[in-house]
Amino acid sequence: MATSTKKVGGLAGVNAGESAICTCGTGHGLNYRGYDIYDLAEHCEFEEVAYLLLREKLPNKDELASFKKELIAARNLPKELREVLKLLPKNAHPMDVMRSACSVLGCLEPEEYDVFKASFPNQQRISTRLLGIFPSVLTFWHHYHTSGKEINTESKQDSIAGYFLESLHQKEPKELWIKAMHTSLILYAEHEFNASTFTARVITATISDVYSGITGAIGALRGPLHGGANEAAMELISEFSTPEQATQGILDKLARKDKIMGFGHRVYVEKDPRNVVIKQWSKKLSDDIGDTKGLYQISEAIEKVMWDQKKLFPNLDFYSASTYHFMGIPTLYFTPIFIFSRTAGWLAHIMEQRANNKLIRPSSEYTGPDNKVFVPLNKR
């Protein structure tokens, strides 16, 4: 991996390596393996984009059908994992549940690989296993601890988007909702060397297994400065009853220098290209359900204040919050949905790291004291 001696807080702007998976940032737009995010979001199902990230090409019809069959088969929860999910407390954070489940699955179905030959023959199989099983993990745990019901993974839905919505609500989802979920999963699927992806690559660089890389990435995603921002955005929006109240409330928060989640981005200066897409879906779903609380209008009022006062634009997380809410998804499940999606990107980076691996070991600038006189224990 390339290194830099440039002193920047949080390594912003530092080139930490090369990747052929994604471009993002001002002047680059957002592309997955060369394809514009707007084309992918408009024309693709999430499974097509996951295939692109994992196998470096868009699938044809037969390849997509085969890939979907693999993902459907991967939904099944092992008996031992079901027991673990039942034992985890109902008040556990869903992200902790997802992280624990990934680690447990790594014990039950360990990756076979040759460290010395750098051979990882099962990484594609494990990739589809993780993509397929994560929605089952969340919904099984949810239903067991809310109703005592042990749901199965049988479904006529052939997509992750449809399967998750059906499994969560225990009824066939609206086609509009499935399309919205496909779009959301595509927008969240990959974003270069973000905190969770870089975590996965650092772990992978030690020649660790896939499960360790994904478990570590989930841990990084859990934080509100990364994946948890969509949950924080929903909490913010829910504070207000009208657009007028939201306008004054945000002005008051800015005056107190409160942090407003869901605005600005580390790699974008003018706008988050994903926002325009998810905002359109928030409006469609608001109209679809007859949003009596006016959450979409409240969101727009907050967006206007943030731009007028701070020239900060909404990022993907902000309108994702209301989009998920309109589909009846509990707020605490917003970030686990991020896992469903970003796992495709994490796995692509794990494979790329393995293909040309070097241990990631940066240096630090020491700022502590020098030349301290040692004092023996009996004189301290």
DSSP-assigned letters across all residues of 70-106? HHHHTTPPPHHHHHHHHHS-TTS-HHHHHHHHHHHHH
Give pTM, 2 decimals. 0.92
pLDDT for 24 beyond 90: no
Instruction: Give the pLDDT band of residue 225 (cuts 50, 70, 90).
Output: confident
Q: What are phi and psi of 340, to 5 degrees?
A: -50, -40
Average pLDDT for 264-287: 91
Return the pLDDT at 4.
Answer: 43
Q: For the chain, what are the domain ranges?
A: 68-224+337-356, 229-327
Residue 36 is inside which H or E element, if any?
strand 35-36
- For 131-181, the pLDDT digits (tens) are 999 999 999 999 999 999 999 999 999 999 999 999 999 999 999 999 999
List, in order, residues 6 or more apart from 32 with CB less than 8 Å away: 21, 22, 40, 49, 52, 53, 189, 190
pLDDT for 125 beyond 80: yes
Nearest to 222 by CA among 330, 340, 95, 88: 95
Average pLDDT for 253-257: 96
Q: Which fold has domain 229-327?
A: Cytochrome p450-Terp; domain 2 (1.10.230)
Instruction: Give the pLDDT band of residue 10 (cuts 50, 70, 90).
Output: low
Return the pLDDT at 52.
Answer: 98
Tokens of 378: 């009996």
Between residues 4 and 312, the one the model is more confident about: 312
Q: Would the CATH topology of 68-224+337-356 be identical to that of 229-327?
A: no
- For 44-96, the pLDDT digits (tens) are 999 999 999 999 999 999 999 999 999 999 999 999 999 999 999 999 999 99
Nearest to 50 by CA among 275, 349, 354, 343: 343
Between residues 226 and 99, the one the model is more confident about: 99
Average pLDDT for 353-377: 92
pLDDT for 8 beyond 60: no
Q: What is the mean pLDDT of the chain?
A: 93
* Gap between the Cα atoms of 366 and 151, Å rounded: 53
Tokens of 59: 């699938």
Residues classed as catalytic: 265, 317
List, in order, residues 6 or more apart from 101 with CB less than 8 Å away: 81, 84, 85, 133, 134, 137, 141
* Gap between the Cα atoms of 111 and 350, Å rounded: 13
Q: CATH homologous superfamily for 68-224+337-356?
A: Citrate Synthase, domain 1 (1.10.580.10)
Return the pLDDT at 345.
Answer: 98
> What stretches of the chain show up as alpha helix (H) in DSSP?
37-43, 46-55, 61-73, 79-87, 94-108, 123-147, 160-169, 175-188, 195-205, 210-221, 229-237, 243-255, 275-289, 295-310, 316-326, 334-355
- For 178-205, the pLDDT digits (tens) are 999 999 999 999 999 899 999 999 999 9
Return the pLDDT at 7.
Answer: 56
Instruction: Give the pLDDT band of residue 3 (cuts 50, 70, 90).
Output: very low
Return the pLDDT at 136.
Answer: 98
Tokens of 375: 């004092």
